[in-house]
Chains A and B, each alone.
Chain A
Amino acid sequence: MTSIAKPPVRHPGLRKNALGLTTRDYEGAMSTLCAGCGHDSVTAALIQAFWELDLPPNRAAKMSGIGCSSKTTAYFMKQSHGFNSVHGRMPSVTTGASAANRDLTYIGISGDGDSLSIGLGQLCHAIRRNVRMLYVIENNGVYGLTKGQFSASADIGSTSKKGEANLQPPIDPVLLALTLGATFVGRGFSGNKAELVPILKAGLSHRGFALIDVISPCVSFNDHEGSTKSYKFTREHELQMTEADYVPLRREISAKVTGEVITTVKLHDESVVRFRRTHEAYDPTSREGAYAHVRECQRKGEVATGLLFIDESGPDMNAIAKTVTTPLAALPFEDLCPGNSALQKLMGRYR
């Protein structure tokens, strides 16, 4: 169906952020997803995160591939440029865009089919390049648009709507990202907005590739008994590893004094993420520790959520490529073309 514009009604009581924008200004077209889709909750969390971060819509670009999740880039930030590309290939398009214009905030929305099957290679290599972007996987274990086939994230034994059990082992994007050297790895649940928003905000401020896997149930094809990606299952098995409290530079708020241990990580933009260790001895700066904890949770049938790993020390793609700070797309032609005298000098080498 065609997309539907939302009526421009403004509630006078809506709060404005530093840019004078309300959350309504970060919304997009009306969602065409099924009622109750977890993806719409992720969209709402994203809108909240953008608003809280005072993100200028014209300085952001929304990137996606193909699938239910990829459609959602039309449902937020209608004032931003968006690119709904081909299935599984959003990472490369974003890589190119980031090479051309490093100044924009790239928001990639993908799904488990888009990222873990057809686009697995592109995801891995975008992680390796450390492309500076937020990369959200709206993970429901199922192909929704083609009506209910298992995806590569479906757990062994999880059943389809028709009752057949999945027999192949799942690909966990969190474990994958950790082994590939990802510099920011988190997991959330679409049904837990309070937890998700700070993780998204931290991911948006990360100078590098920020992967956030969001368990986002498919109400039409994967929300039944026997599914391990249903609302019910996830609520019952979610285990929050760390509570991230993202503190932007301009609006520092004092941390609540609690008896819990707080780890503070400073991001490159000088803003700060605080991790509240709700799990004893959890250290989000230890890659090995993060991996072990996620595996241990899986063994117990739990879903580890929270900001699981962060490393702010690695160079992003543009730093690795040593590109100038001005976006390449903005360099004037005179700066790029050597001119005829340089060419004639060079021609001597070919004589």
Chain B
Amino acid sequence: MSGVNDFAFKMATVNGTGSASANNLLMHAIFRMGIPVTGKNIFPSNIQGAPTWYEIRVNKDGYTARPPEIDVVVALNPSTYARDVADVRPGGYLVYDSSWPIDPELVREGITILGIPFGKMCVDAFENDRDRTLLRNIVYAGALAALLDLDMDVVNTMAKEKFSRKKSLLDANQRAIRLGYDYAKANFTCPLPFHLAKMDKTADSIIIDGNTAAALGAVFAGATVGAWYPITPSTSLMEAFTTFCEHFRKDEATGLNKFCILQAEDELSAAGIAIGAGWAGARSFTNTSGPGISLMQEFLGLAYYTEIPAVFFDVQRTGPSTGMPTRTQQADLMSMAYASHGDTKHIIVFPANPEECFYLTVLAFDLAERFQTPVFVASDLDIGMNDWMCKRLEWDDSYVHDRGKVLSEADLAQIKTFSRYLDVDGDGIAARTLPGSSTKGAYFVRGSGHTKHAAYTEDSDAYQEVVDRLLRKFETAKKAVPAPEIHRHERATVGIVTLGGCRSAVLEAIDRLREQGIVADYMRIKAFPFDAPVRDFLDSHNVNFVVEQNRDAQLRSLLTIETGFPRDAMIPVLDYAGMPLTSKVVVDAVTKHLEGVPA
């Protein structure tokens, strides 16, 4: 399978020892050689001392999903030797620290074992313990550079960029790289049969994580109020928003901020702040993960019923409860779609990668204001925290943000009386005013039963009139949210439906399946609610697979509830153990199912 510019390698280390910078160096150097590359950080819910892994996939064809196989494992964490050795594909390579005799756990038939005395070389070369620990990572990066034929000019340029202001660090890092590089060159046949060779496939790409891209989207969308409570894996979103705001949103004359970021006391408060700001006319958001979504349920119902815009980022992690906070999942689909008590439904957009995190975030702010309602951006840990290669982000300077129906003073002057929840245009969307408007536009927001004039009511008809209009508004939203991404193929016999970050693995799986003679159409859900094309796709296949990362086939349930398509006519392909999806899971599930189904 593996070959030039088509392989994967993995570093097994202990967290808190500085391996991240070495892994980052390797990935970015490959990217700068023009070769498509992906990195997956598999890290513990811990600050120091627990096992951590970093997987780098190099793929000339641009497949960016988690690799189905690992060609080289660098095993530097004795506590995970057994499983790390087992992860090497047959015929693959294992690199270990030969400063000490080899651990029996590392010995395995059918693979090539390369010993490099990382620890010893660092003790000999560097003075203090800190350098010896940190630079050990750079030494393995150097060794891999030789084994994989990494362009050393690129590596040296990157080191110079990174340590341009710290000469001593630059020297130490360059020495460490050489140590590993020279040792590998002197002791092994370099490069390995699979290795790197310069390409020109990353010129219009960037490497970015989804939380950073989403934060950038919030800046470009004009969001000014961000409220949050720290929670993995969404924390870096607000951190990035803060950094971008500090950069782009300082008033030049006064140095004051054109933004307000509030770290709340909990997620309830974060939701309340976002809603209060949305009501008062700012573009506002909160970012959280599953446990936070649970805490925000009451406020989400209030915002839905009182029709207040705000954007909610759910960077999903493995649940239920605290679950595995540093592992990925798509298991909040139901809790987002119908968040809160009573009859509630919410608009959700599902970015598939960081690039879409940027664009769909901008759209989410428009949708929230246009439909005067909470809008979810459903990301996950894999998209949010991992570095993805994606297309360079572009901004259309002619873009006009959609503030929805907000009555100006001039608008108010033209109407006799203002009724907050009156459907004047027949699209289910009533016009709003902002606090501070003239007294004619004043109205009373209440989560209690209200009439179309915003007055308190316990009258059945008056109550129902409002909630029925909310349903019409949701119908209107179906046409406004992004349509699914659909690829149809002639002679397709099955349909594969998926969403979010599963995209890359499913597209790769469809290519693999075609090589095996199974032609599949593809539909990726990009938003909730679903419009007619979703049902049409399902109707046009005798067999539909629904690929998602949760145990209970939540997307499948949503499809049944909202489109009426029979639940049992969709075959679930579920991968919910916390790791990003691989194409292998999809290929295996589809082929296994089809083997059991007569053609």
Contact = CB atoms under 8 A, between A and B. Distances in A.
Interface string B245-289: 000110100111111111011101111111111111110100000
Given A100-B282, A339-B397, A92 B448 contact: no
B220 A125 contact: no
Question: Counting chain B CB atoms within 10 Å of each CB, which of A73, A125, A317 scores highest?
Answer: A125
Interface stretch (A177-185, A224-232, A277-285, A323-331): A323-331
A351 B222 CA distance: 25
Contact of A323 (B259, B392, B435): B259
B63 to A, nearest CB: 20
B299 interface: yes
A3 B456 contact: yes
A254 interface: no
B225 interface: yes
A351 B220 CA distance: 20
Interface string A317-351: 11001111101111101011111101110110011
A202 interface: no
Contact of B444 (A59, A74, A328, A339): A74
A328 B262 contact: no
Interface residues of B, number: 75
A2 B442 contact: no
A89 interface: yes
A58 B435 CA distance: 7
Residues of A contacting B: mostly:
helix
B148 to A, nearest CB: 21
A205 interface: no
B553 to A, nearest CB: 32
Contact of A347 (B259, B281, B393, B448): B393
A58 B433 CA distance: 12
Contact of A338 (B219, B266, B282): B219
B208 to A, nearest CB: 5
A125 B221 CA distance: 29
What are the nearest 6 A-B pairs in CB distance? A96-B276, A92-B272, A329-B281, A100-B282, A100-B280, A96-B273
B224 A100 contact: yes
A329 B457 CA distance: 31
B434 interface: yes
A103 interface: yes
27 contacts: A2-B455, A61-B435, A81-B443, A83-B445, A85-B275, A86-B272, A89-B268, A92-B270, A95-B273, A96-B276, A96-B280, A100-B224, A100-B279, A104-B280, A104-B436, A121-B265, A317-B262, A321-B262, A325-B256, A327-B280, A327-B436, A329-B277, A337-B222, A338-B248, A350-B206, A351-B31, A351-B207
A18 to B, nearest CB: 17
Chain A contact residues (Cβ within 8 angstroms of B): what range? 35 or more
A110 B328 CA distance: 41
Interface of A: 1-3, 57-59, 61, 73-74, 78-86, 89, 91-101, 103-104, 121-122, 124-125, 129, 317-318, 321-325, 327-331, 333, 335-340, 342-344, 346-347, 350-351
Interface in B201-217: 206-208, 216
Contacts of A337: 219-222, 395, 399, 401
A201 B268 CA distance: 31
Contacts of A330: 281
Contacts of A343: 216, 220, 393-395
A47 B365 CA distance: 38
Contacts of B279: 83, 93, 96-97, 100
Nearest to B310: A96
Contact of B276 (A57, A84, A100): A100
Contacts of A82: 442-446
Contacts of B272: 85-86, 89, 91-93, 95-96, 122
A125 B272 CA distance: 13
A58 B260 contact: no
Nearest to A28: B444
